Structure 1
């Protein structure tokens, strides 16, 4: 299914290769809608590819996360559901290399998932970039630390980690503005017939053409091919930043993310990160699968 773009702001292409493309530039030709559920392990597994796409081709596009998912059905089967979710998470972590600890659903289950989704929209009221960073912190606390992201204290901690204005965030959390924004996302999910999470939709904001929808996880090259089709030319990837710059920018990253971005084996990634650990530039985060690292600023 594809759609004509409507209501998207006009913009023009910016070619900036002197800086790293994961920094925010304005006026880009492509807008990418990423339909996500903060509790979805497949969405978490998309992170390495979104990072690489942003670093190599971020000068061509902006990312717009759309919060969707089955917000009201998670706890309808309180006895069997936790075991099923645990199995799904464990299987996804082993398959993708992005750790997500399924024990959460037994030890500290998320009671009201809609609150986490509402919190993401509240964070976005402080800017799209703030919203994206907050979403990432929510995912880290959920998948790596087994935190119940429907609890206010956990969400406030995520807001602090994302460097949001905490007082403003608290005021916005249950505000009409946040609720309306979430309803718009859910409406857009329905209108675009998104029935699988994650789904990515590419739009060209300059050339009038239909959007291209990709549902599920695909090899990285597929996303590049779609981007080239939308641009109507083959884009040249930007130079990758030094590893320390990458770590400094994102703060917390996994071995899988580093390996994908730099085209390294997991063994090479582990070797390079251990070097930085020895010089006390990073610290390892204890997780169930693989390795995650926190950059020490």
Structure 2
């Protein structure tokens, strides 16, 4: 079995691209692949977004707005997941598409519209969305990220038990579907080969600086 922990911005288009690629890859493969999507928000991710959007780092109002919107969208996702993985993914991917790709404004009303579109129970969603359980679940996700050394998105941690390995591999900054596929190889030779950033660079004809691939 293969486990993939994918840490994402629930309103980000870049994260949406890799999610789509991984979901398509998982559906096409005969291997048993378990994908866990984890919303991530911290000071470093907010700093990264400010830089991406060319917003001055000292713009406190915009910083707070970004944090609140991403945190709110994360709770939307966690609440929707309580009604099933499909409904959770429906909200997550559509929030990323509508807000991240199309540039629409995020709002709680948008999340409620999406839960209805998915066939979910709106009253249950509203209740769960405000519950301590959902907020605690979000905090647990952030703790998982800290324990795995993840501080930015998109990042992925892959556990490939088919190779008889009990450690995970963290890939960040240069995350692509090619990296995911390589780490999902059941060939021991290929799996070990991928642990060396120099070999990654040769395989993908790109520069992958040391420090962006870690064993956990």
TM-score clears 0.5: yes
How far 1:133 sits from its partner (Å)?
2.0
**Matching of residues 1-297 of structure 1 within 5 Å:** 29-57=1-29, 59-70=31-42, 74=46, 81=50, 85-87=52-54, 112-113=68-69, 114-149=71-106, 151-204=107-160, 207=164, 209-229=166-186, 232=188
* 1:122-172 CA distance string (max 9 Å, x none): 1111122321222112112212443332x2211101212332211111111
Task: Report the Cα distance in structure 2 between the residues aligned to 1:220 and 1:172, rounded to whole angstroms.
Answer: 33
* Structure (1/2) with the larger helix percentage: 2
8 A contact 2:10–2:95 mirrored in 1: yes
Task: Report the Cα distance in structure 2 between the residues aligned to 1:162 and 1:72, rounded to whole angstroms.
Answer: 32
Bigger Cα Rg:
1
Report the RMSD for the aligned CA atoms in angstroms: 3.0
How far 1:216 sits from its partner (Å)?
2.8
TM-score normalized by the length of structure 2: 0.70
Relative distance call for 1:137 and 1:219 in structure 2 (3 A) is closer
How far 1:42 sits from its partner (Å)?
2.5
8 A contact 2:13–2:96 mirrored in 1: no
8 A contact 1:32–1:64 mirrored in 2: yes
The runs of 5 or more residues in structure 2 that have no matched partner are: 56-61, 191-216
8 A contact 1:111–1:148 mirrored in 2: no
* 1:15-43 CA distance string (max 9 Å, x none): xxxxxxxxxxxxxx111110111133321
The runs of 5 or more residues in structure 1 that have no matched partner are: 1-28, 89-104, 235-297
How far 1:66 sits from its partner (Å)?
1.1
* 1:35-82 CA distance string (max 9 Å, x none): 1111333212313421331232264201100111237985x9xxxx5x
Task: Report the Cα distance in structure 1 between the residues aligned to 2:147 and 2:167, rounded to whole angstroms.
Answer: 15
1:281 corresponding residue in structure 2: none
Task: Report the Cα distance in structure 1 between the residues aligned to 2:75 and 2:113, rounded to whole angstroms.
Answer: 16
